[in-house]
Structure formats: structure tokens, C-alpha cells
């Protein structure tokens, strides 16, 4: 048979790999990075995805996981065990907060939340058993931008690790590891795969020993990603750069339109000059501001429902970062597990709508938003 040299990596849709004999098996245990045994431990497709994400982030290694949530769990357990304490930025994805407060506390890991204005002065929050701080490059859903270099300096001063969720920014916009961050996580489900057809995550570390610990957690907890979804995500990753440019271009145009609309009460987008971290976002993001924004219309159920139903091409879909635009409602989806007091403190009210801006023609997006707002 002629040698086969595929341009695209084949799908290794197998749960187990074979060995010639016991000597061959021993080679696996001696050099596990050069052979495969069981897909939960490793597979060429998941390794390809991890390698590509690691290359983009500029890390010392990466591991692919079954979801963004499993990436967060893997990363936290890399540094924390029962009896430890971790810090988390107060404005964080609701699923992350639920994992920390509802599940990790049951495992003996204590959690404290730090308001945004206190992130760069952690002395009153750090305890002797504090191990890390978790924050987002751009917060979900109100797009507050963290000064990663400043935060990295503060966590190093405090003697704790810094874990950053870079899902909203992607390494096309910001590379946290280059700014002193210890570990980065992604919901690969979102921009990295980009087509709303994969559920996956990734963990990238600045130090090789940290990612080796992450890989061990992935294997033992069974947090691995399947070969097919790894292949799909790696395929989507090939167009990340060009997709992000269009996401950013469209989002800025949409944000400017919404900011000037009389029925829109507030817009959160780092690309607007009025955003409190606009200058920081511009420098930290190489002039790009991402494809996510949030805006508020009247805090009235009928008003929100009327707007949602009036949209013809932008569906209400509680996720984000696909090539097609979609809206979500943080109060009733991503942040519904928070108490009413927490929601109010963060400013997540009934009229807040999160918009994931896709790569469609800009004029078509603006037209759909215009006609929907006309009906409010």
C-alpha cells in the first residue's frame, strides 16, 4: 500500500491502542509522550488540540478537557486541595461561581470573592492557606477588563498563583501568560472552536510541572475530551484569527449603534471610548476588543420578551462565540444561581442582554437590531 500523508489529521476514533508485547507496553510507561494506550490518558486528536492552543498562548504545555467547566476544575485542583483557600473575582461567569461555591466548598476548599476595585490590593483577602486567584480577562457579562500585568504583580507579591479565564479575549487579543499569569483556561466551546458544535475546554500553564499535574487530574477524574470533538475543535481553530478580526469589527459597530440608540440605557463594550477600561483594553488587546458586549433596555419582562421575539436573525441562545450572532439573558441563564442581592450588586438586572456578535455582514446585524428595537 502506498504511504498516506493526510493534510488534515485523521480522527483516531478508538478507546484503546494495541501493543506488540510486554516490551512494547513498557516503552509506553517509559515514554508515555511517544505512544498511546487508552484514550482517557491521551489521544492524537486531543493532543493536537492541546498543542495548538498551547502554541497560541505561548505556554509550557496544555491539556484538552471535556468542557470549559472541566477546565476550570482541572486548573483549580492543580493548585488546591482540601483545607486550602482560593480567591475569585466577584464578577465572574455564573457557572464558575457555582462550581466554586457549591461544589469545591464541599471538597474542603474555601472560597472568597474579591470586588473589582480591590483586585489589585489583596492583603485583606489573602490567608495563610490561600493558593490562587481566579479572574477573567474580560468579565462575563459586563465586560470589565482586568489589568493582567498589574494583577500578576500583586499575586506574586502575595505568594499565590494567578489563574485567568481567557475565553472572551482569546489569545488573538490577549496572551495572559506573557503578562505574568501562571495558568490560562478556555472554554474551547466558544471562540476557539467557533461554530457552536463542540463542548470542550483547555488548560495552559506557564510551567511544565504545573501542566503535568493538570494532565494527571484530567486522566484520574476522567475529564478528557473525545477524539471527534477534539478533531472538530482543532479544525475550528484553524480560522480563529480571521474570525476574531470580523467578530471585533462587527462588535464595535454594533456597540456604537446601541450606545447612540434612545431605547438602550447602557452599553458595556471595551471598544467604546466611554468604557472605564478602554485605554487598558486597547493596549492589552493590541487594538482589538472582542466580539462580546452587553446592553440594557428597560427592566421590564414584556419589553425584553418583545425585543427577543422581534429579532429575525439573532436567536436567544444561552451560549456565545459562534460564527452566528446570538443573545443571552444573564439574569435568567448564566447568573441565575446567584442570589438576588449578588445580581443587584453586580448590576445584572432584567433588562441586561448579552450579545455575542457573529461574523455576518455588519449592515444585516444593525438592521435586525434596529427593527427589533423599533418594536419595543
**Residues with catalytic function:** 40, 93, 165, 190
CA dist., res. 131 & res. 67, Å (int): 23
Instruction: Give the Cα separation of 297 and 290 in Å (integer).
Output: 22
Strands 292-296 and 130-136, by their bridges, are unpaired
- Spatial separation of the C-alpha atoms in residues 180 and 324, rounded to whole Å: 34
What's the rounded Cα separation, in Å, for the pair 141 and 352? 9
DSSP per-residue letters across 266-297: EEE-TTSTTSTTHHHHHHHTTT---SEEEEE-
> Is the Cβ–Cβ distance between 251 and 243 less than 8 Å?
no
Those residues whose C-beta lies under 8 Å from the C-beta of residue 84, and which sit 6 or more positions away, are: 108, 109, 110, 129, 130, 131
- Residue at grid coordinates 488548560: 203
Contact between residue 151 and residue 122 where contact means Cβ atoms under 8 Å apart: no
> Length of the chain, please?
376
Amino acid at each position: 500500500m502506498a504511504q498516506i500523508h493526510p493534510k488534515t489529521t485523521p480522527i483516531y476514533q478508538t478507546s484503546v491502542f494495541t501493543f506488540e508485547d510486554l516490551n512494547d507496553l513498557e516503552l509506553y510507561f517509559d515514554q508515555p509522550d511517544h505512544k498511546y494506550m487508552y484514550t482517557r490518558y491521551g489521544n492524537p486528536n486531543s493532543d493536537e488540540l492541546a498543542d495548538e492552543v498551547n502554541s497560541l498562548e505561548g505556554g509550557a504545555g496544555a491539556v484538552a478537557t471535556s468542557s470549559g467547566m472541566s477546565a476550570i476544575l482541572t486548573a483549580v485542583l492543580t493548585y488546591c486541595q482540601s483545607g486550602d483557600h482560593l480567591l475569585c473575582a466577584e464578577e465572574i461567569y455564573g457557572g464558575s461561581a457555582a462550581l466554586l461555591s457549591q461544589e469545591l466548598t464541599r471538597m474542603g476548599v474555601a472560597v472568597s470573592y474579591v470586588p473589582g476595585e480591590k483586585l489589585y490590593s489583596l492583603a485583606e483577602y489573602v490567608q495563610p492557606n490561600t493558593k490562587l486567584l481566579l479572574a477573567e480577562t474580560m468579565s462575563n457579562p459586563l465586560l470589565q477588563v482586568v489589568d493582567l500585568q498589574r494583577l500578576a504583580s500583586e499575586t506574586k507579591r502575595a505568594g499565590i498563583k494567578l489563574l485567568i479565564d481567557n475565553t472572551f479575549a482569546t489569545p488573538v487579543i490577549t496572551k495572559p501568560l506573557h503578562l505574568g499569569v501562571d495558568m490560562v483556561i478556555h472554554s474551547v466551546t466558544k471562540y476557539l472552536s467557533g461554530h457552536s458544535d463542540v463542548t470542550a475546554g483547555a488548560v495552559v500553564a506557564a510551567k511544565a510541572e504545573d501542566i503535568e499535574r493538570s494532565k494527571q487530574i484530567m486522566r484520574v477524574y476522567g475529564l478528557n475530551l473525545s477524539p471527534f470533538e477534539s478533531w472538530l475543535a482543532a479544525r475550528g481553530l484553524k480560522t480563529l484569527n480571521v474570525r476574531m478580526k470580523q467578530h471585533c469589527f462587527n462588535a464595535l459597530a454594533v456597540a456604537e449603534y446601541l450606545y447612540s440608540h434612545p431605547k438602550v440605557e447602557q452599553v458595556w463594550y471595551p471598544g467604546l471610548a466611554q468604557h472605564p477600561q478602554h485605554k487598558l483594553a486597547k493596549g492589552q488587546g493590541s487594538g482589538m476588543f472582542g466580539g462580546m458586549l452587553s446592553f440594557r433596555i428597560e427592566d421590564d419582562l414584556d419589553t425584553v420578551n418583545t425585543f427577543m421575539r422581534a429579532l429575525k436573525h439573532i436567536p436567544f441562545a444561552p451560549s456565545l462565540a459562534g460564527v452566528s450572532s446570538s443573545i443571552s439573558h444573564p439574569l435568567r441563564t448564566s447568573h441565575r444561581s446567584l442570589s438576588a442581592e449578588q445580581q443587584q450588586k453586580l448590576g445584572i438586572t432584567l433588562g441586561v442582554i448579552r450579545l455575542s456578535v457573529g461574523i455576518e455582514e455588519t449592515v444585516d446585524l444593525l438592521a435586525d437590531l434596529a427593527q427589533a428595537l423599533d418594536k419595543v
